[in-house]
């Protein structure tokens, strides 16, 4: 089980990218995602699934996640979420 210690952010607002902000959440509250995307109707479910799966792979069970998507592919989502969470797991500010 990996716990988030602080908010962590990764990404940009450039086309084909996304901005991910993860923050610690109460134990047992699960992964709560707020998603903004111009393609939310076509890919909203998929984006949320990838975000969740990536965090779960990292052993993160509880998190507040804000995603502002600008048309990112799954591989980009995975990378940005992973790094945002890694940054959020750091004990001291980087």
- Residues of this chain that interact with another protein (CB under 8 A) are 10-11, 14-17, 38-39, 41-46, 70-76, 78-80, 82-83, 86-87, 94
Choose between 44 and 62: whose C-beta lies nearer to another protein.
Answer: 44
Residue 81 beta carbon to another protein: minimum distance, rounded to whole angstroms:
9
Question: CA quadruple 93, 33, 52, 70: dihedral positive or negative?
Answer: negative
Residue 24 beta carbon to another protein: minimum distance, rounded to whole angstroms:
19
Residue 78 beta carbon to another protein: minimum distance, rounded to whole angstroms:
5
Residue 31 beta carbon to another protein: minimum distance, rounded to whole angstroms:
19
Extract the tokens encoding 89.
């797991």
Strand (E) positions, the chain? Answer: 8-11, 18-24, 31-36, 63-69
Question: CA quadruple 15, 9, 60, 94: dihedral positive or negative?
Answer: positive
Extract the tokens encoding 29.
């509250």
């Amino acid at each position: 089980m990996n716990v988030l210690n602080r908010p962590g952010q990764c990404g940009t607002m450039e086309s084909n990218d996304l901005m991910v902000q993860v923050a610690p959440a109460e134990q047992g509250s699960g992964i709560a995602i707020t998603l903004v995307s111009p393609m939310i109707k076509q890919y909203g479910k998929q984006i949320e699934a990838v975000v969740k799966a990536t965090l779960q792979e990292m052993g993160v069970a509880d998190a507040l996640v804000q995603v502002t998507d600008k048309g990112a592919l799954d591989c980009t989502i995975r990378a940005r979420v992973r790094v945002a969470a890694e940054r959020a797991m750091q004990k001291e500010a980087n």
